[in-house]
Structure 1
Amino acid sequence: MHCSRIRTALSARLDGEEAPPGVTPGGLAAHLADCRDCRQWEARARVLTAHLDRTEDDPAAVDALLAGLRSVSAEPAPVRPGAVDTDGGRAG
């Protein structure tokens, strides 16, 4: 399964939504077990979600969080040369 589908499923899970069609909990777990980049992405997404939950009713905290996010590159992590996804496709 491609990392982009896994990350979409992880985002949905964090938001309390259903996973996209074709992504099963077992497939998600198997991919995460084998893909360090997606595990790191999930960890960062969990931290961001927690920050957003805490700042929801505090405009100053929201502004500070957004300023911090703007200072960090929004580029995805580079795909390592030769890396393959768990289904044999190119990662990323």
Structure 2
Amino acid sequence: MHCSRVRTALSARLDGEALPPGLTARGLDEHLARCRDCQGWDGRARALTARLGGAVARPEDDPADVGADADADALLARLRSVSASPGTGTGTGTCTGAGTGTGAAVPDGGHAG
């Protein structure tokens, strides 16, 4: 199994989305158990998600809500503070993050979706 497909699936699982066709939770977990690169990627993606906390929009959120502009401003401010933090976005990982969904940056320069 290619790491890029695994990372796409890890991103989907982290976002509560269905796994891509042809991948099972068991197969994903088996790959993750033996691949240090994907373990690291998963850890960074989980850490970023935790750091963003509730600032990430959820599908059930209604963008027409009165507070939507304030929510968007808060999210942008949090994203800017994360990207400005020392040591983030400058890792030596080789993941390009292609095909991972939303395009949220992870510390190794890849993407988590």
- Normalising by structure 2, what TM-score? 0.57
The yes-or-no answer on 1:67 pairing with 2:63 is: no
2:3: which partner in 1? 3
Q: Which has the higher contact order (CA 8 A, sep 6+)?
A: 1
Residue type matched to 2:2 in 1?
Answer: H
Gaps of 5+ in 2: 57-70, 96-113
More helix by share: 1
1:81: which partner in 2? none
CA shift digits 1:8-34 (9 cap, x unpaired):
000001111011001101100110111
Given the superposition, is the C-alpha separation of residues 71 and 28 from structure 1 closer, same or farther in structure 2, using an over 3 Å criterion?
Answer: closer
- Does the 8 Å CA contact 2:83/2:89 hold for their aligned counterparts? no
- Normalising by structure 1, what TM-score? 0.69
The yes-or-no answer on 1:21 pairing with 2:31 is: no
Superposition CA RMSD, Å: 2.6
Given the superposition, is the C-alpha separation of residues 19 and 75 from structure 1 closer, same or farther in structure 2, using an over 3 Å criterion?
Answer: farther
Given the superposition, is the C-alpha separation of residues 16 and 71 from structure 1 closer, same or farther in structure 2, using an over 3 Å criterion?
Answer: closer
Percent of matched pairs sharing the same residue: 51
Gaps of 5+ in 1: 79-92
1:36: which partner in 2? 36
State the secondary structure of the residue aligned to 2:85: helix
